[in-house]
Amino acid sequence: MEFIGGLIEKGGWLIYPLFVLLAWGLVIIIIKTFHLHHNNTINPAVIDRVEQLLLNRKIPEATAFCKQYSVPMTRILLAGIINYEKSESELKEILEEAGRQEVPLIRSHLTALGTIASVAPLLGLLGTVIGMIEVFATLAKETTVNPTMLAGGISQALVTTAFGMVIAMPTLASYNYFISKVQKLIIEMEKISLHMVAVLKRVQP
């Protein structure tokens, strides 16, 4: 608490929005770490079970199973299972459309995380610029320059920039990691969808 109080005292009012960005970024990182976990998006065990039910021509059971274990991949497959009697080209279009509807959910909050990574250092730099303006405005009023006062003022002005960079580095690293993770998940979901089209064709009457 003393450290936080010292930051607020030295950094001025711009420390408050920086703390908000920090808290917001941490919340998004925690949420996306959970949401983008492989089992919370695809869950291979569930997909294998759906395939087995389909191969055994247990369409109602496969439908109920997808509804029971609702993750993005099973919701996509559910759209295909409901329309399993349609042609191969129609099934592909249905699964592609279902996939397009799931992608925004998978990518949710990533734009905000990227924005935090970009805004935090700029906000910190703004605090430094404002601090430097105040330092030089004070010096302009003084008849003699006090090196100690000058050093202290500059040190205080740089606090927000340092804090902004501290926020930006982990959020930017997390943003890049999540973007890569999302791309891999989307590619895997597309492969599973194409495979399931072939499975659905096999179970058609």
pLDDT tens by residue, 174-193: 999 999 999 999 999 999 99
User: Which CB contacts under 8 angstroms, 24+ apart, belong to 131-137?
Assistant: 131/12, 131/156, 131/157, 131/158, 131/159, 131/160, 132/157
* Domain span holding position 179: 2-81+88-203
Q: Are 113 and 28 in contact (CB under 8 A)?
A: yes
This model's pTM is above 0.75? yes
Task: Give buried/exposed letters for 125-147 (b at 16+ CB in 10 A, else e).
Answer: ebbbeebeeebeeeeeeeeeeee
Q: Which of 24-28, 86-90, 167-171 has the lowest mean pLDDT?
A: 86-90
pLDDT of residue 51: 92
Reply yes or no on whether the pLDDT at 173 is more than 80: yes
What is the tally of structural domains in the chain? Answer: 1
Query: What are the pLDDT digits (tens) for 90-109?
Result: 999 999 999 999 999 999 99
How many other C-beta atoms are found inside a 10 Å radius of the C-beta of residue 171? 26
